[in-house]
Amino acid sequence: MADRFSRFNEDRDFQGNHFDQYEEGQLELEQASLDKPIESGNHFDQYEEGQLELEQASLDKPIESDNIGHRLLQKHGWKLGQGLGKTMQGRTDPVPIILKYDVMGMGRMEMELDYAEDVTEKRRALEVEKEDTEERRQKYKDYAEKEKAIAKALEDLRANFYCELCDKQYQKHQEFDNHINSYDHAHKQVGSSEHRAVVNPVLQGDRDANPSPCTGAVLPS
């Protein structure tokens, strides 16, 4: 068991350095190789000042014929001065770069303006702007008579929903039916019956005692 852990008691040299293993002059050789510039650097570094000219195309200056984009278009059948598309019906100039400050998509503003222009040009004529013809006058007259007949029918219908005892007018049958079956209406109906039961005999006695001077008959109750 002790032999297994005996390696932990070994004497080790922690003062050594792996650089000591290099022979004299070997380290300086490798350091010199690191300081040497790389020959296979970026090819733009090989251009002298003013030798590299960037090709800048614009709307006023088209791309040159030796441009890779120009050559690719020619391989697809395009010719200088013709439009894009299968039948050469497309645009011949590049798409301009326009800074957009709105949240609309490409072409949305033009579509909205075209739609607004069509609406304003072909707006519907107002009622006051329409030509006054005999047919139009007859149409308005028929419409007025129809509205008057509807109002008269509604008035006759609402007359059936009037409670004379309570002096209340209702607009719907359900409201009138609820009132007829209510305690308020029944209470007034009972009170009115009791009132007639008390008042009618008194009136009848007065009529018997004082007949009508015109006919000599007793006034009806």
Q: What is the 3-state secondary structure (H, E, C) of the chain?
A: CCCCCHHHHCCCCCCCCHHHHCCCCHHHHHHHHHHCCCCCCCHHHHCCCCCCCCCCCCCCCCCCCCCHHHHHHHHCCCCCCCCCCCCCCCCCCCCCCCCCCCCCCCCHHHHHHHHHHHHHHCCCCCHHHCCCCHHHHHHHHHHHHHHHHHHHHHHHHHHCCEECCCCEECCCHHHHHHHHCCHHHHHHHHHHHHHHHHHHHHHHHHHHHCCCCCCCCCCCC
Q: Residue 68: is its pLDDT beyond 60?
A: yes
Q: Is the pLDDT of residue 168 over 60?
A: yes
Residue 70 neighbours by CB under 8 Å, 6+ apart:
63, 64
Tell me: the pLDDT tens digits for 107-158? 888 899 998 888 777 666 666 666 677 888 888 889 999 999 999 888 888 8
Instruction: Indicate yes or no: pTM above 0.85.
Output: no
Q: Are 81 and 92 contacting, i.e. CB atoms less than 8 angstroms apart? A: yes
**pLDDT value at position 145?**
92
Our CA angle for 106, 107, 110, nearest 5°, is 150
Mean pLDDT of 209-221: 49
Q: Is the pLDDT of residue 52 over 80?
A: no
Q: 158 with 175: CB under 8 angstroms?
A: no
pLDDT the model gives residue 176: 82
**Which pLDDT belongs to residue 111?**
92
